């Protein structure tokens, strides 16, 4: 950490635009988090298991998005912000370690780490910040994390059968409070004009985490293929998984420069308020796909259970919908061709249930190829028209 002191509490949108090295270091730990979550989805692909894993994923994602918003609103050169990021690293590491046993003997560890890192952030900011608007913002966040934190901690203590409902309720509070701009007694809501100043840094932070989660898909496929007995079917499944990761990347990078520009200059309020929700869908899609790929590499042939279809088909659908959400929020674009390809994949799902997992993966890959080719054709046509 540096000793550089910032001239003010609030980040100046015209100042440095790149993420700090500490922010990038923080992101690296999410590779472990994403890997743990992917394995958690694959370890228990029952309906109940998928729901439990989704709760953990949404909690992990909320930690990242709130931290990213803090480093966008507050100047990351401030010593207190650097301490906040460093302390959050410890919380994320503990959460990642607790993921496999979060609904067993590590429930309190997961809940305690999640609540602890949010409370530490809030307390440090409230204690250190003196500027009125920044201080009030930190108080609002701290109040609502205290409210949701009680459910998280109770869930960590009670019988595991009650854990998922309590944690789901806590997540509803976390996500809904942010959507309502943290309405707090005696403090009101976060003023809308505080969402109107964003720097290019904000868009780049989301790009960086998206690339990391896409890399996790390729990483997990490689690790799983390297750890199983070789067979032609598993080789095809592995190659299809790498192809899906590359297709995800191609779909993601389309018009990405426009997204960064719009988030900072054209529609900062929409980007600041909706990015965390839109990317929650995108990240969930990638992690679900990664878990599905892990299952297929281990068992490429045989029947395809319904819950496997949720991962193998639902994952790519969520990813594309998440990317389309970004396009709509920032560019007011809605790709009909992508909707058509996704509708085709959904319509084919009953047929896919009769196929082996490897064929489901190949068909899904084919739909992604169709989306990519259609995107390229549309982009070329638009460039020609200009």
Full DSSP string of 243-293: HHHHHHHHHHHTTHHHHHHIIIII-HHHHHHHHHHHHHHHHHHHHHHHHHH
Q: Is the CB of residue 117 less than 8 Å from the CB of residue 143?
A: no
Looking at the fold, whether 75 and 168 belong to one and the same domain comes out as: yes
Each residue's pLDDT, cut to its tens digit, for the chain (386 residues) gives: 443 333 456 665 555 567 888 899 999 999 999 999 999 999 999 999 999 999 999 999 999 999 998 888 887 778 888 999 999 999 999 999 999 999 999 999 999 999 999 999 999 888 887 665 667 888 898 999 999 999 999 999 999 889 999 999 999 999 999 999 899 988 888 888 887 777 778 888 888 999 999 999 999 999 999 999 999 999 999 999 999 999 999 999 876 666 566 555 666 777 778 889 999 999 999 999 999 999 999 999 999 999 999 999 999 999 999 999 888 877 777 888 999 999 999 999 999 999 999 999 999 999 999 999 998 888 787 667 66
Which domain range does residue 372 map to? 200-385
Looking at the fold, whether 126 and 219 belong to one and the same domain comes out as: no
Residue 375 in 3-state DSSP? helix
Residue that finishes a domain, picked among 195, 210, 225: 195
Looking at the fold, whether 273 and 214 belong to one and the same domain comes out as: yes
Residue that finishes a domain, picked among 151, 179, 195: 195
Looking at the fold, whether 228 and 377 belong to one and the same domain comes out as: yes
pTM value is 0.92
Looking at the fold, whether 158 and 281 belong to one and the same domain comes out as: no
Domain count, the chain: 2
């Amino acid at each position: 950490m540096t000793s550089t002191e910032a001239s003010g509490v609030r980040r100046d949108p015209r100042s440095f635009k790149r993420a700090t090295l500490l922010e990038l270091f923080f992101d690296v730990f999410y590779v472990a988090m994403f890997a743990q979550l992917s394995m958690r989805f694959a370890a228990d692909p029952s309906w109940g298991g998928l729901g439990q894993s989704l709760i953990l994923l949404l909690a992990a994602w909320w930690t990242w998005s709130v931290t990213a918003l803090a480093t966008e609103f507050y100047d990351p050169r401030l010593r207190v912000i650097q301490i906040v990021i460093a302390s959050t690293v410890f919380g994320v590491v503990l959460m990642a370690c607790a993921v496999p046993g979060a609904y067993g003997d590590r429930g309190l560890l997961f809940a305690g780490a999640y609540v602890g890192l949010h409370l530490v952030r809030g307390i440090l900011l409230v204690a250190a910040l003196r500027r009125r608007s920044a201080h009030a913002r930190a108080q609002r966040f701290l109040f609502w994390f205290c409210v949701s934190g009680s459910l998280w901690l109770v869930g960590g203590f009670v019988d595991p059968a009650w854990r998922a409902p309590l944690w789901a309720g806590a997540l509803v509070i976390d996500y809904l409070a942010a959507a309502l701009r943290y309405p707090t007694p005696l403090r009101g809501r976060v003023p809308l004009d505080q969402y109107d100043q964003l720097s290019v840094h904000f868009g780049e932070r989301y790009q960086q985490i998206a690339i990391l989660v896409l890399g996790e898909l390729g990483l997990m496929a490689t690790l799983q293929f390297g750890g199983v007995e070789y067979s032609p079917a598993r080789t095809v499944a592995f190659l299809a998984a790498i192809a899906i990761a590359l297709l995800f990347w191609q779909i993601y990078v389309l018009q990405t420069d426009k997204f960064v520009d719009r988030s900072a200059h054209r529609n900062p309020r929409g980007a600041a308020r909706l990015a965390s929700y839109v990317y929650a869908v995108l990240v969930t899609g990638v992690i679900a796909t990664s878990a599905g790929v892990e299952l297929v590499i281990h068992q490429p042939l045989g029947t395809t259970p319904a819950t496997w279809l949720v991962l193998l088909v639902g994952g790519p659908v969520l990813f594309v919908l998440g990317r389309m959400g970004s396009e709509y929020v920032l560019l007011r674009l809605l790709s009909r061709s992508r909707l058509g390809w996704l509708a085709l994949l959904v319509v084919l799902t009953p047929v896919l249930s009769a196929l082996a997992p490897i064929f489901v993966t190949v068909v899904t890959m084919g739909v992604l190829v169709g989306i990519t080719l259609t995107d390229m054709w549309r982009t070329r046509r638009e460039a020609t028209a200009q």
